[in-house]
Amino acid sequence: MRNVMVLVAAQAILGAQMSLHFVLGGLAGQMLAADPRFATLPITMTVMGSMFAAPALAGIMQKYGRRIGFFIGTAGGAGGASISAYALWTGSFWLFCFGGFLVGIYMSAQAFYRFAATDTASPEFMPKAISWVMAGGLVAAVLGPQLVKITNDMFSVPFIGAYFAMIALNGVGVFLFFFLDIPKPEKPSQDAPKGRTRMQLLRTPKIAVAMICAMVSYSLMNLVMTSTPLAVVGCGYGTNASADVVMAHVLAMFVPSFFTGHLINRFGAEKIITLGLIILGGAGIVALNGVELGNFYIALILLGIGWNFGFIGATAMLSTTHTESERGRVQGMNDFAVFGMVTIASFASGGLMNATGASAQEGWTAVNMAMIPFLVLAGGALIWFTLQGKPNDDPQT
């Protein structure tokens, strides 16, 4: 329980930098970039940084323990925010993108909080542990956008104060991990089972389906959320309105976490993932029906709830598929794939938003229409898995 509480606090405090960065990354990119189609590239670089950091962090945590990996994450967050602030001061778009890439190291480390919550949990408590840690994002959901508002006019250079706040968040949050007490994995003996190879793991139906659903849930959330500040401001509502919409969205991402674990235990991960995909589809329908401020709020709230059910369900599903010796391999492979897909979605978001129509409304329509094939992919994978009769995918012992 102690470890879960530490991870909840880390999600709450350190996690605020991600909602802050996602509110401002696209707007700052639009201000700095010569071509508006590259406006969301700084956020894309953040997700790309997460993608490349995931396998390395997984290996480090498997060998040296969770705490070292999380320290590396805070160093990446603070360093990336420092470079981003300097880039804003000098007006350098590409340096701002590099700062975003380093912030991605923190984003990758944060993604491992949910896995760390299961390390010392019983099988019955695992879904609840994941949910509780994700629920820590409620504080982050409020804190990040509020920091945007507080710091927005603090300096003559727009947005720079928010990145100074990010540096401070990492400075405070790093001390939390001294209270983390997760045993370092024992070094396996030479005759210990090596576990399945990556290809064997990928050929395991339950692992493949869990990864696909996690990839789709996270990438669709990122696709739409990345464009939201651009769409809200483009439709005439202002930066503060975009911060409020994103805050409502991030709250919706984490509020369900108080009961998602219970729902998974009662109904099974597959059914909760299915519900999540349906809600994600509902978010797209609401967004396509207008650009009133109410449409933005409702669509982004549904987007957050759908992500919560889809992503936490997929994480819980994946957590039952591997042995301890396979843990780092599976988790690193999963997050590399997830953030790889999110990288593509993030980059596509800016292109769809700024290059598919003459107005912000047309770009917003294109973004939401792009959700359809991915929802079909994840839904099809779940149907296929169900029709297989749930083959025995228990991890090797």
> Is there a domain that residue 268 lies in?
yes
Determine phi and psi for 10, rounding to 5 degrees.
-65, -40
Q: Is residue 304 part of a domain?
A: yes
DSSP state of 136: T
For residues 106 and 29, give the distance between their C-alpha atoms in angstroms, rounded to a whole number: 20
Query: Does any domain span residue 392?
Result: no
Asked if residue 105 lies in contact with residue 211, where contact means CB atoms within 8 angstroms, the answer is no
Which residue is associated with the tokens 């945590």?
A: 61
**Residue ranges in the chain assigned as alpha helix (H):** 2-13, 16-32, 41-64, 66-90, 93-111, 113-119, 126-135, 137-151, 160-173, 198-202, 205-234, 239-254, 257-267, 269-288, 293-318, 327-355, 360-369, 371-387
In a domain? residue 191: no
The pLDDT score that the predictor gives to residue 397 is 39
Compute mean pLDDT per 10 residues along the chain, 397 residues long, and list them.
88 89 84 82 88 88 90 96 96 95 94 83 77 82 84 86 93 88 72 75 90 95 89 86 86 85 90 96 95 94 96 89 80 86 83 74 92 95 83 52
d(CA 108, CA 55): 9
Residues 6+ apart with CB under 8 A from 385: 205, 206, 209, 270
> How many structural domains compose the chain?
1
Structural domain of 369: 2-176+196-387
The conformation of residue 101, written as its DSSP 8-state character, comes to: H
| pLDDT on residue 358 | 66
Q: Supply the CATH number for residue 163's domain.
A: 1.20.1250.20
In a domain, 86, yes or no: yes
Is residue 184 assigned to a domain? no
46 part of a folded domain: yes
Return phi, psi of residue 359, to 5°.
-140, 165
Q: Is 243 within the bounds of a domain?
A: yes
184: three-class secondary structure by DSSP:
coil
When the pLDDT of each residue in the chain is averaged and rounded to a whole number, the result is 87
Q: What are φ and ψ of residue 96, in 5° steps? A: -65, -40
The pLDDT tens digits of the residues spanning 336-381 come to 898 889 888 877 887 788 766 668 888 999 999 999 999 999 999 9
pLDDT at 390: 56
